[in-house]
Amino acid sequence: MSKLKLNGVSKAYGATLALRRGDLEIAAGEVHVLMGSNGSGKSTLCKIIAGSVRPDGGEILIDGRPVTISGPQSAREQGIGIFYQELSLAGNRSVEENICLAMLPVKAGLFIDRSALKARAARYIDLFSEVSGDGFTAETLVGNLRADQRQLVEIMKALASEAPILIFDEPTSALDRAQVERFFGILRGLKRDGRGIIFISHRMDEITAIGDRVTIIRDGETIKTLNLSETDPATVIRLMVGGAGDMPASQSSAPAVANFSTGAAMTVDRLSGVGFRNVSFEVAKGEILGLGGLHGQGQSAVLRAIFGAGSITSGEIRIGSDRFDAKKPRDAIRRGCAYVSGDRGRDGVIAGRPIIENVTPIHYLRDRLMIARPSSLRQKAMPALEAMHTKFASLMHPINSLSGGNQQKVIIARWLIDRPDVLLLDDPTKGIDLSAKADLFALIRQLAADGLGILLYSSEDAELLGNANRILVFNGGSVTRELTGEDRTRYNLYQAAYEAA
Amino acid sequence: MNAVIPFLKKPLVIALLLIVALLYLGESLSPGFASADQILRLLIVASLLGIVAAGQNVVILGGREGIDLSVGGVVSLSAIIAGNVMNGADGGILPAILACLAAGAFFGLLNGLGVTLLRIPPLVMTLGMLGVLQGLLVVIRNGIPSGRAAPGLSAFVTQPLVFGIPGIIWLWIAIGLFMAFMLNRTVFGHRIYAIGSNEHAAYMAGVPVRRMRIGLFMISGMFAAIAGLCLLGYSGSSFANVGEQYMLSSIIAVVFGGTSLAGGKGGYTGTMAGAVLLVILQGILTTVNIDESGRQMVFGATLLLLMLFYGRGRAMRA
How many C-beta atoms surround the C-beta of residue A280 within 10 A?
14
Q: Does B193 touch chain A (CB under 8 A)?
A: yes
Integer Cα distance of B84 and B79 in angstroms: 9
Question: Which of B116, B192, B204, B317 to mutate against chain A (most A CBs within 10 Å)?
Answer: B204
Among A348, A357, A365, the residue with its CB nearest the CB of B206 is A365
B191 and A334: CB-CB below 8 Å?
Answer: no
Residue A355 has pLDDT above 80, yes or no: yes
Exposed/middle/buried for residue B106 (C-beta within 10 Å: 0-12, 13-18, 19+): middle
pLDDT of residue A488: 84
Looking at the complex, report in whole angstroms how far the Cα of residue B201 sits from the nearest Cα belonging to chain A. 4
Q: Return the ∠ at Cα A106 (arms to A101 and A112), rounded to 5°.
A: 70
Distance of CA A415 to the CA centre of its chain: 25
Smallest CA–CA distance from A414 into chain B, residue: B205
Would you place residue B127 in the very low, low, confident or very high pLDDT band (cuts 50, 70, 90)? very high
Looking at the complex, report in whole angstroms how far the Cα of residue A371 sits from the nearest Cα belonging to chain B. 4
pLDDT of residue B313: 44
- pLDDT (average), residues B207-234: 94
pLDDT tens-place string over residues A241-293: 776 555 555 444 444 455 555 678 899 999 998 889 999 999 988 899 999 88
Mean residue pLDDT across chain A = 85
Mean residue pLDDT across chain B = 86
Q: Kindly report the three-state secondary structure assignment for every residue of chain B.
A: CCCHHHHHHCHHHHHHHHHHHHHHHHHHHCCCCCCHHHHHHHHHHHHHHHHHHHHHHHHHHCCCCCCCCCHHHHHHHHHHHHHHHHCCCHHHHHHHHHHHHHHHHHHHHHHHHHHHCCCCCHHHHHHHHHHHHHHHHHHHHHHCCCCECCHHHHHHHHCEEECCEEHHHHHHHHHHHHHHHHHHHEHHHHHHHHHHHCHHHHHHCCCCHHHHHHHHHHHHHHHHHHHHHHHHHHHCECCCCCCCCHHHHHHHHHHHCCCCCCCCCCCHHHHHHHHHHHHHHHHHHHHCCCCHHHHHHHHHHHHHHHHHHHHHHHHHHC
B193 and A357: CB-CB below 8 Å?
Answer: yes
pLDDT of residue A260: 56
How many interface pairs between A and B have CB atoms less than 8 angstroms apart? 80
Smallest CA–CA distance from B207 into chain A, residue: A330
Smallest CA–CA distance from A304 into chain B, residue: B204
Of these ranges, A70-84, A105-119, B50-64, the one predicted with the greatest mean pLDDT is B50-64
Domain ranges across chain B? 42-312
Type of residue found at B35: S
Of these ranges, A52-56, A418-422, B151-155, the one predicted with the greatest mean pLDDT is A418-422
Q: Return the ∠ at Cα A162 (arms to A161 and A163), rounded to 5°.
A: 85
pLDDT of residue A87: 63
Q: What percent of chain A has pLDDT over 90?
A: 20
Smallest CA–CA distance from B188 into chain A, residue: A370
pLDDT tens-place string over residues A151-181: 888 889 888 888 899 999 888 877 877 888 8
Q: What are phi and psi of A21, to 5 degrees?
A: -155, 110
When mean pLDDT is compared across A2-6, A194-198, B189-193, the lowest value belongs to: A2-6
- pLDDT (average), residues A346-362: 91
Looking at the complex, report in whole angstroms how far the Cα of residue A426 sits from the nearest Cα belonging to chain B. 13
Between residues B33 and B313, which one has the greater pLDDT?
B33
CATH-assigned architecture of domain A2-246: 3-Layer(aba) Sandwich (3.40)
CATH code at A248-336+421-501 = 3.40.50.300
pLDDT tens-place string over residues B237-289: 777 677 888 988 899 899 888 888 888 889 999 899 989 988 998 888 888 88
Q: Nearest Cα to B224, choosing from B5, B33, B51?
A: B51
Question: Which of B178, B181, B187, B188 to mutate against chain A (most A CBs within 10 Å)?
Answer: B187
Among A330, A348, A372, the residue with its CB nearest the CB of B206 is A330
The HSE-up count of residue B114 (CA atoms within 13 Å, CB side) is: 20
Looking at the complex, report in whole angstroms how far the Cα of residue A307 sits from the nearest Cα belonging to chain B. 9
- Tell me the ipTM for this assembly: 0.83
A362 and B206: CB-CB below 8 Å?
Answer: yes
Question: Class assignment of domain B42-312?
Answer: mainly alpha
Would you place residue B128 in the very low, low, confident or very high pLDDT band (cuts 50, 70, 90)? very high
Of these ranges, A284-298, A327-341, B11-25, the one predicted with the greatest mean pLDDT is A327-341
Contact between A238 and A278 (Cβ < 8 Å):
no
Q: Does A382 touch chain B (CB under 8 A)?
A: no
pTM for this entry: 0.79
Question: Which residues in chain A have their CB less than 8 angstroms from residue B203's CB?
Answer: 309, 328-329
Q: In sequence order, what DSSP letters do the residues of A232-289 get, joined into one string?
A: -HHHHHHHHH-GGGGSBSPGGGPPPPP-GGG-EEEEEEEEEETTEEEEEEEEETT-EE
Q: Does B210 touch chain A (CB under 8 A)?
A: no
pLDDT of residue B317: 34
Looking at the complex, report in whole angstroms how far the Cα of residue A457 sits from the nearest Cα belonging to chain B. 18
pLDDT tens-place string over residues B133-179: 988 988 887 766 667 888 888 888 888 878 888 999 999 999 999 99
Among A334, A348, A370, the residue with its CB nearest the CB of B186 is A370
Between residues B11 and B223, which one has the greater pLDDT?
B223
pLDDT of residue A253: 47
A361 and B206: CB-CB below 8 Å?
Answer: yes
Type of residue found at A74: S
Q: What are phi and psi of A360, to 5 degrees?
A: -90, -10
pLDDT of residue B207: 93
Among B187, B206, B208, the residue with its CB nearest the CB of A372 is B187
Smallest CA–CA distance from A368 into chain B, residue: B187
pLDDT of residue B4: 60
- pLDDT (average), residues A345-363: 90
Q: What are phi and psi of B213, to 5 degrees?
A: -65, -40
Among A350, A369, A371, the residue with its CB nearest the CB of B194 is A350
Among B187, B201, B208, the residue with its CB nearest the CB of A350 is B201
